[in-house]
């Protein structure tokens, strides 16, 4: 019997052979000047006139949603924007473009720590702060809120560490130090004091007082519970072990009492005379332990939780009390060394803040190559598996903490995957179902589309260039924003009842016990390796596909007897590979690779349509598709049911590749495993080539008479008449466009 993964790969391979190969059945993507009036696809009206005009964003009474200053509910369609690096006039143009595409939140991920050799740790990056201030002002004018992430321990971002007296050289990662090095923490407070308290010359108020600043993220992608813990240098480990010794004294009354509980678990590095017990490697915390080693590992786990949580308590208090910020605070967004045993520990440490967060991507299987962490080269191998065929890896499969909204502060369907058009639709639909409060697309750095994602300073023998891996500013993802943002922000898809509710005690977390349900590891070739699931245990108690049925939540310091798991038999059919949401509005056939959305005001179908039969029906729409792979969404633009709407947006996404892109079937041996997939033969050049759609559409709406074909900026190109049939209208959509307005 073939495995699920092999079947998925074979199905993906059958389809991939017919598209993305630079065939003539494509049209060249260009984005015209959109500074003139008259675009029929402009979502700026969904935003406030000025971001924060009613006050700071707050957590709703339900503990999981966001509300504006006037108490009105608000949903965010966010991106990670690097526009603060643009010229001032380009910043404003980008902000206007974002608003037009449905964006109302931008995460600014920068670093305000001092740069340049010899800079003391007490200095700060004034130029970076100025850029952030100007960018906030530009976004605010377009009704766009901001999330600010001011620090990352990555060596390329942290700053000139050699002069900070931490024992680290310039360019070295300083993972973990912020949680326990007192001098670094004090310096960090100084950096963010300047960032948030210095007057913003572009708005007249400091960022801490500006309600356009919706969320402050304390730091990005660092934790004491990840593998990077093992890379902390010995002199800093001694600082942390001294704090561990103090923690043990408080718990046991004496170190002798701790040693007695740890019988048989002594370590070579223990320094009992100086109260510095050695710190176990992270690997030990991920493995089953017994006797004294279990007690020791549980104690270290509890200590690290307390240390990290107390850091977030301290910084949150500083932001609120010292800086006077009245908006929302998020601790971090990171993962752990074992997602089953330790992810809950990480989320527990975030409790002192308002908002929980995580970074999660969909990778589409494996990508092997010498530079696979940041670029795509000729000769690279990739699996090319649609998320519709691998539902457990979808990035919005997340446990949410009771009383705290959940956001995904970085995400995307990562290149070189060609099945990316499904991404915005899936994220909009399933976030609506589960109540996730925003998935930030990573990353966008141009004033509109990334028209040239090639890495120009590197040239291959045939004259082409590698492609950038981490951008969502491409037609197949960014181009699919409008319909997705509209249906998500307008609440066209119902939120479901909770399907899994788990309650855990602190003792259970300390012991890293297996929870009822756990998230699969997230895709990250720079930290997890390509095979993200390798070596992880699986939780028992709830089907991991429950995330696609309805909300999954957890409560800390709770009563485990109150844990409940809904009977999911009528929603998940493993034999037919079919998942139905608890609301009955969403279905996913992950055997054939087809998703359907069936709500009164938004209906859609996406996936491998021709191979799955080519004809698909929702309540008010019939789609006949001869396209191998496509995403077709119909959404009302006037807040009426599709059967009554006088203005319906039809959005079509297909495969998009650079001109001249070429791939061929390949087999790859890696780490003792055999992978079936594709070899990159040529990375191509610009412009993007969009595969034509071949779609006939029927909508049960007698009010509609014509389809207005739009260009990529939403301006009218031509009209197509519909044919009256069965109380509705039939339209054959032109193949060389992605937007149509039915009127």
Q: CA Rg, the chain, in Å?
A: 26
Structure tokens at 511: 């012991």
Contact status, residue 632 vs residue 622, Cβ threshold 8 Å: no
Contact status, residue 575 vs residue 583, Cβ threshold 8 Å: no
End-to-end CA, the chain: 51
Produce one character per residue of 580-611: b if its CB has 16 or more CB atoms within 10 Å, e if not. bbbbebbbbbbbbbbbbbbbbbbbbbbbbbeb
9 φ/ψ angles, rounded to the nearest 5 degrees: -65, -40
Using alpha carbons, list the distances in angstroms from residue 108 to 47, 94, 132, 133: 19, 14, 8, 10
Task: Give the position of tokens 């949680």.
Answer: 179
Give residue 459's pLDDT.
85
Q: How far apart are CA 324 and CA 170, in angstroms?
A: 33
Angle at 416 between CA 414 and CA 419, to 5 degrees: 75
Cis previous bond, 687, omega within 30: yes
**What is the chain's percent helix, strand, coil content, to nearest 5?**
25, 25, 50
Sort strands 602-607 and 594-598 into parallel, antiparallel or unpaired: antiparallel
Q: How far apart are CA 30 and CA 23, in angstroms?
A: 18
Task: Give the position of tokens 């080693």.
Answer: 293
Q: How many other CB atoms are there within 10 angstroms of residue 26's CB atom?
A: 22
> Of 307, 308, 300, which is closest to residue 284 (Cα–Cα)?
300
Q: How far apart are CA 203 and CA 225, in angstroms?
A: 40
Q: Is 138 helix (H, G, I), strand (E, B) or coil?
A: helix
Contact status, residue 524 vs residue 571, Cβ threshold 8 Å: no
Contact status, residue 114 vs residue 161, Cβ threshold 8 Å: no
180 burial via Cβ count (<10 Å: 0-12, 13-18, 19+): buried
Structure tokens at 381: 């191998």
State the greatest distance between any 2 C-alpha atoms of the chain, in Å, as a whole number: 89
Give Cα 144 to chain centroid, integer Å.
19
- Long-range contacts, stretch 168-177, CB < 8 angstroms, 24+ apart: 168/233, 170/117, 173/228, 173/231, 175/222, 175/226, 175/228, 175/229, 175/231, 175/232, 176/222, 176/223, 176/224, 176/228, 176/229, 176/232, 176/236, 176/240, 177/153, 177/232, 177/236
Q: What is the pTM of this model?
A: 0.95
Q: How far apart are CA 435 and CA 399, in angstroms?
A: 11
| Complete domains list, the chain, with CATH | 25-230+309-490 (3.20.20.80), 234-301 (no CATH)
Task: Give the position of tokens 């030990």.
Answer: 284
> Of 16, 13, 8, which is closest to residue 691 (Cα–Cα)?
16
**DSSP-derived secondary structure for 173-239:** --TTGGGT-HHHHHHHHHHHHHHHHS--TTTSS-GGG-TTEEEEE--BS--TTSGGGGGS-HHHHHH
What are residue 356's DSSP bridge partners? 406
Is the four-CA dihedral 690, 483, 411, 432 of positive or negative sign?
negative
Stated length of the chain: 743
The pLDDT averaged over each successive group of 10 residues in the chain (743 residues) is 33 34 78 93 98 98 98 98 94 97 97 93 96 98 98 91 93 96 98 98 98 98 98 97 98 97 96 97 97 98 98 98 98 97 98 98 96 95 98 98 98 98 98 98 93 85 87 97 98 98 98 96 68 45 96 98 97 98 98 98 98 98 96 98 98 97 96 96 95 96 95 97 92 96 97
Contact status, residue 148 vs residue 133, Cβ threshold 8 Å: no
Cβ-Cβ contacts under 8 Å for 410 (sequence gap 6 or more): 80, 107, 333, 359, 360, 361, 440, 442, 443
Structure tokens at 408: 């995904």
Structure tokens at 232: 């902390």
Indicate the helix (H) or strand (E) that contains 450: none
Q: How many other CB atoms are there within 10 angstroms of residue 562's CB atom?
A: 10
Sort strands 706-710 and 739-742 into parallel, antiparallel or unpaired: antiparallel
Structure tokens at 9: 């790969």
E-only strand ranges, 331-418: 356-359, 367-368, 375-376, 381-382, 400-401, 406-411
Is the four-CA dihedral 131, 132, 135, 137 of positive or negative sign?
negative
Task: Give the position of tokens 């705290």.
Answer: 404
Sort strands 656-659 and 328-330 into parallel, antiparallel or unpaired: unpaired
538 φ/ψ angles, rounded to the nearest 5 degrees: -120, 140
> Of 239, 252, 267, 255, which is closest to residue 176 (Cα–Cα)?
239
Q: How far apart are CA 582 and CA 550, in angstroms?
A: 6
Contact status, residue 211 vs residue 55, Cβ threshold 8 Å: yes
**DSSP-derived secondary structure for 626-641:** --SSEEEEEEESSSS-
Q: How far apart are CA 205 and CA 419, in angstroms?
A: 44
Give residue 538's pLDDT.
54
Give Cα 321 to chain centroid, integer Å.
30
């Amino acid at each position: 019997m073939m495995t699920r993964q092999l079947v998925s790969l074979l199905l993906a391979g059958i389809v991939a052979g017919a598209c993305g190969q630079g065939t003539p059945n494509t049209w060249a993507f260009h984005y015209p000047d959109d500074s003139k009036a008259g675009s029929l696809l402009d979502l700026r009206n969904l935003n406030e006139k000025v971001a924060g005009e009613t006050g700071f964003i707050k957590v709703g009474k339900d503990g999981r949603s966001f509300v504006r200053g006037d108490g009105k509910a608000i949903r965010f369609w966010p991106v990670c924007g690097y526009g603060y690096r643009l010229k001032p006039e380009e910043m404003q143009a980008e902000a206007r473009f974002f608003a037009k595409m449905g964006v109302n939140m931008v995460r600014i991920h920068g670093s305000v720590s001092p740069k340049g050799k010899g800079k003391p740790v007490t200095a700060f990056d004034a130029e970076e702060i100025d850029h952030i201030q100007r960018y906030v002002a530009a976004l605010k004018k377009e009704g766009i809120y901001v999330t600010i992430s001011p620090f990352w321990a990555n060596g390329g971002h942290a700053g000139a560490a050699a002069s900070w007296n931490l024992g680290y050289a310039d360019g070295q990662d300083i993972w973990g130090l912020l949680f326990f090095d007192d001098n670094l923490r004090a310096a960090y407070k100084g950096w963010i004091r300047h960032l948030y308290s210095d007057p913003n010359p572009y708005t007249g108020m400091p960022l801490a007082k500006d309600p356009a600043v919706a969320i402050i993220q304390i730091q990005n992608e660092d934790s004491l519970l990840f593998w990077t813990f093992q890379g902390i240098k010995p002199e800093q480990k001694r600082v942390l072990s001294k704090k561990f010794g103090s923690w043990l004294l408080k718990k046991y009354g004496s170190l002798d009492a701790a040693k007695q509980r740890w019988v048989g678990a002594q370590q070579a590095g223990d320094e009992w005379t100086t109260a510095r017990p050695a710190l176990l490697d992270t690997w030990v915390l991920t493995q089953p332990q017994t006797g004294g080693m279990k007690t020791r590992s549980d104690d270290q786990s509890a200590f690290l939780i307390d240390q990290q949580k107390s850091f977030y308590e301290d910084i949150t208090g500083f932001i609120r009390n010292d800086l006077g910020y009245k908006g929302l605070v998020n601790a971090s967004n990171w993962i752990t060394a074992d997602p089953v045993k330790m992810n809950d520990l990480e989320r527990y440490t975030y409790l002192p803040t308002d908002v929980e967060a995580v970074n999660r991507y969909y990778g589409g299987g494996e990508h092997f190559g010498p530079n696979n962490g940041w670029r795509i080269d000729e000769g690279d191998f990739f699996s090319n598996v649609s998320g519709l065929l691998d539902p457990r890896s979808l990035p919005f499969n997340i446990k949410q903490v009771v009383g705290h909204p959940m956001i995904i502060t970085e995400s995307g369907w990562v290149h070189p995957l060609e099945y990316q058009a499904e991404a915005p639709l899936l994220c909009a639909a399933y976030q609506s179902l589960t109540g996730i409060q925003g998935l930030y697309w990573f990353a966008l750095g141009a004033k509109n589309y990334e028209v040239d994602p090639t890495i120009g300073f590197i040239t291959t023998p045939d004259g082409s260039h590698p492609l950038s891996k981490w951008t969502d500013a491409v037609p197949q993802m960014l181009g699919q924003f409008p319909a997705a943002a509209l249906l998500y922000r307008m609440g066209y898809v119902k939120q479901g009842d909770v399907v899994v509710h788990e309650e855990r005690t602190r003792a259970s977390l300390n012991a890293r016990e297996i929870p009822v349900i756990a998230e699969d590891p997230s895709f990250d070739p720079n930290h997890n390796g390509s095979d993200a699931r390798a070596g992880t245990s699986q939780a028992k108690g709830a089907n991991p596909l429950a995330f696609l049925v309805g909300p999954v939540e957890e409560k800390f310091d709770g009563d485990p007897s109150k844990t409940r798991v809904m009977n999911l038999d009528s929603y998940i059919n493993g034999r037919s590979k079919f998942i139905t949401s608890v609301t009955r509005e969403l279905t996913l056939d992950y055997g054939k690779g087809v998703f359907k959305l069936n709500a009164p005001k938004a209906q859609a179908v996406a996936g491998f349509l021709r191979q799955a039969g080519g004809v698909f029906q929702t309540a008010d729409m019939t789609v006949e598709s001869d396209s191998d792979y496509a995403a077709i969404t119909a959404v009302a633009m006037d807040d009426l049911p599709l059967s009554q709407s006088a203005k319906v947006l039809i959005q079509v996404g297909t495969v998009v590749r650079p001109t001249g892109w070429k791939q061929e079937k390949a087999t790859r041996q890696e780490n003792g495993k055999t992978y079936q997939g594709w070899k990159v033969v040529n990375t191509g050049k610009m412009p993007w080539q969009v595969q034509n759609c071949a779609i006939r559409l029927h909508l049960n709406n007698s009010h509609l008479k014509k389809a207005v074909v739009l260009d990529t900026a939403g301006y009218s190109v031509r009209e197509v008449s519909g044919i009256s049939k069965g109380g509705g209208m039939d339209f054959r959509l032109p193949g060389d466009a992605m937007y149509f307005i039915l009127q």
